[in-house]
Structure 1
Amino acid sequence: MQILEKELDNELSLAENEEVVIQGFMDRYDVDYEEAKEIFEETKKFLELASDMSQEGQSLFVDKPLLIIDEMWHTFILHTKQYMQFCLGKFNRFIHHVPTSNKEKMALNERLSTNPSLVLQEQEEKLKDQYSRIYDKFGADTLLKWYETWPTKYTPEYIGKIKKAV
């Protein structure tokens, strides 16, 4: 009986931790609870896939369609205790957010200037792989939400518009 109570306590504490993150997002962005919760759920899925790919020595990247997920990830990271508890509880390790460095951006720009078709082909292959992984892990609904529905709604301009002055 004590084990069941402990598991229930853990579930409750995880739910409470999630509420802190969702509220934190609502404090930063003009969205209602249901919208923030949905973005948070999708962010957790993104982190699960990022963890899987990291185990394979690969990286999941945040491109323009995934900006709202990236914004929620930033909010999650700001709640360090909750983020660490989630990562360790779900993946047994911490999932780092590693933005592209200036050095990497400069190297990409250099490669683009010398061989743009090769770089674009590589990026297209990487994106196709990412689509495939999302589809295989979460199904068509998630892939369409992340790369068709949400990019139409959560444009960089719209995200800037709903961002609250803190």
Structure 2
Amino acid sequence: MQVNASARKVQDLKPFPDLQEVLQYENQNVVDGLRKALDITQETAQELFKEGVKWLWYCCHPDTKNSRNIDNAMLIIDEVWHTFILYTGDYFSFCHRYFGRYIHHAPTTAAEAAKQRAESKKDRMLRKRKQYELIFDILGKETFIRWYHEYPEIYSRENILALRRK
């Protein structure tokens, strides 16, 4: 228990990093891993990796609590995150270097999915709208358009499966 308490103290002391600083991070192993998993170009893999890093920064941003949900529009971001986590040493070091803690990937549980299904359409839309507005305000219009307009077209579930190397 003391280790967790100490980790929280370190995290609290660590200033939240600037997005541009975090986006300077590069990891060729993860880029190569994306290319090994998906039939994409080097440039596309590098772009996707940067978007995944951006998502991790967003997840740690103090204003985004309860607005960190990867929905169908962002499946490719989840794919990048899964790939990054496979390089556990690099992922661990990245998380601690920039955020002072490990960023856990927590898929939606069956209970959470049932709770979301039980929400009224209005409540569901309000929850999604809050995240959309935060992404727009914190990460900018270009990121919002990329994640919610371009990526759903390019990287739908079916398209990701078609890109997956056999």
TM range (shorter): 0.7 to 0.9
**SS class of match (1:65):** helix
**Cα deviation per residue 1:93-127 (whole Å; 9 max; x = unaligned)?**
11111011122223444x2xxxxxx5211111111
**Cα offset, 1:164, TM superposition:** 1.2
Structure in which a larger fraction of residues adopt helix: 1
Q: 1:1-166, aligned counterparts within 5 Å?
A: 15=26, 18-53=27-62, 57-109=65-117, 111=118, 119-165=120-166
Name structure 1 gaps, 5 residues minimum: 1-13, 112-117
SS at match of 1:143: helix
Residue identity over aligned pairs, in percent, reads: 33
Cα distance between partner residues in 1 of 2:124 and 2:45: 30
1:47 deviates by 0.7
> Which residue in the other structure is 1:3 paired with?
none
Structure 1 residue identity aligned to 2:100: N
Residues 125 and 107 of structure 1, relative CA distance in 2, 3 Å threshold: closer
Q: CA deviation at 1:131?
A: 1.1
Structure 2 spans left out of the alignment, 5+ residues: 1-24
CA contact (8 A) 2:64 2:134 kept: no
CA contact (8 A) 2:70 2:78 kept: yes
Per-residue CA distance 1:55-112 (angstroms, 9 max, x = gap): 7642400000100000010000111011111111111111111011122223444x2x
- CA separation of 1:22 and 1:139: change in aligned 2, threshold 3 A: same
What is the TM-score when the length of structure 1 is the normalising length?
0.80
Greater C-alpha Rg: 1
User: Aligned pair count?
Assistant: 142
Alpha-carbon distance in 2 for matches of 1:158, 1:49: 25
* AA matched with 1:90: Y
Q: RMSD of the alignment, in Å?
A: 1.6
